Amino acid sequence: MLALDRPALSIPDKYTFTFVITACSHQQLPMFGKSIHGRVIKVACESDIFVGNSLLNMYSIFGQMDEARKVFDEMSQKDVVTWTSLIRGYAKLGEMGRAEELFNKMPERNEISWVVMISGCIGSERYNDALRYFNEMLCDDKVKPNEAVLVCVLCACAHLGALDQGKWAHVYIDKSGLPESSNLSTALIDMYAKCGRIDCADRVFNGTSKRDVLTFTSMISGLTAHGLGKEALQMFSQMVAEGIKPNDITLLGVLNGCSHSGLVEKGCSIFNEMEQIWGVSPKVEHYGCIVDLLGRAGHLEQAFEVVKTMPMEPDIVIWRALLSACRIHGNVDFGELIVDHISQLDPNVHSGGFVLLSNLYASLGRWEKVAKLRNQMNGRKIELSPGCSWIEIDGIVHEFLPAVRLHPQSREIHEKLNEVMKVISIEGGYVANTKQVLFDLSEEDKEQALAWHSEKLAVAFGLLRTDAGTPIRIVKNLRICEDCHSAMKSISHVFSREIIVRDRSRFHTFKEGKCSCKDYW
């Protein structure tokens, strides 16, 4: 018999390795990718920059940054792709310190490098840093901001309430000739809505030629945040009429709108029809809206029944909504029942219950109960989140913490605030709501503690630094308290200022002594 000649096995080259490693990255095959890396070393292809970049990118995608850094350090040649891949890996894991260190050392940058760095800041909630890098990018003549960068910038402006910078970005988008896109339109609507200009958000929405589920959802959520529940429902009806199917986020916005506007019957109807009509199964967030809707309206037992019959475990947001309703309606007994119930659940959820019940006791002057709970909270190392407020003046975002004198104009701000509080007490009929103080202090000390709330410091700074008649816009990380709400109404009347406060869940527009929420929040 004649032996058949077998074809010689070919040795993979740098092109083969590059494609295979890239395929491993896309198919989420880390173990196979590592074995290919071994083959790369065996045939001495690791010095090739394309192979090295594909390995570096693969390890970064898988979050294996020790391996990625080792590949980076051993590469004899590096280009902008090399540096960007490593920066992306660190940014993805939230290690922005390492990402920033590398970014500052880069010999050259392209638009992708800037996108990675700015989007990394957004992902790590470093919004001021995102805007700082954007301003640096504008000074780089070799690159121009693309759609991805501008969406990130608008996102940062939205979170900070930085309206002036958001407007500038909008003008830049219009002048740069970027084509209209759903992402940009949605980001602009979101930015204007979260910066307190729902009218501008509406103009962007109406000027969008091709509206989709994203643009409609952004507009509905914006109307909801401003307490315009009926308008949000009208927008939802328009969306359905145009043949656009809502998603789970759209329906979340609609339900929130019903909650903020007290539309109990309509909200329950939409919730009950979610799966049947729209094919959307309610998630924990949707249940949270219904609990909040019923709780705010005083239907505490019905709200609690919804929580007990949920098909998934309730989270702290739901318990907060239920206990907040107990505080609003002064129902301590029901609050204690709820905390007894959640004490058998996850410790983290129970911790949140401690804080909320403590606040409920304090609002009713039950100081012996507060002291007992505070001792338990100290034993568990549970801390209250400090209130923090931001205000943008001349394109710069200023941060305020309660009773903290870190601002360079701290003395002038406190003097102005003392003056404001005296004026509204005399001319505006303001009386401090000392039930809002969560510690057992004298009435005088309670009034002083209330005066130091971060949003009051921010509004005093706004009165100092802006012209008469100019609206004052403030962003706060927590729910605005009843005392600050009352003070803002008086300030808006006495000083003839429109004051817009965006708290954790919604907007409050104070004008001529009234609030857009109609005191229902």
3-state helix, strand, coil in the chain (%, to 5): 65, 5, 30
Task: Write down the pLDDT at residue 396.
Answer: 85
Residue type at 51 in one-letter notation: V
Q: Where are the alpha helices (DSSP H) in 364-405?
A: 367-379
Q: Where are the alpha helices (DSSP H) in 211-247?
A: 213-225, 229-241
- Which residue did the predictor score with more confidence, 407 or 242? 242
Cα–Cα dist 72/336, whole Å: 57
316-328 vs 347-363: helix axis angle to the nearest 10?
10
Q: What is the mean pLDDT of the chain?
A: 84
Nearest to 292 by CA among 313, 268, 276, 275: 268
Distance of alpha carbon 41 from its chain centroid, rounded? 45
Tokens matching residue 136? 């640096």
- Percent of all residues in the chain with a pLDDT value above 90, rounded to a whole number: 48
Q: Which residues contact 320 (CB under 8 A, 6 or more apart)?
A: 352, 356
pTM, two decimal places: 0.79
Task: Write down the pLDDT at residue 322.
Answer: 85
Is 353 in contact with 345 (CB distance < 8 Å)?
no
Provide the pLDDT confidence category of residue 383 given band limits of 50, 70 and 90: low
pLDDT in tens, 274-303: 999 999 999 999 999 999 999 988 898 899
Quote the longest CA-to-CA distance of the chain.
115
Cα–Cα dist 97/74, whole Å: 22
Task: Write down the pLDDT at residue 265.
Answer: 93
Tokens matching residue 103? 């970014």
Residue type at 406 in one-letter notation: L
Task: Write down the pLDDT at residue 437.
Answer: 52
Provide the pLDDT confidence category of residue 11 given band limits of 50, 70 and 90: low
Place of tokens 């394309």: 50
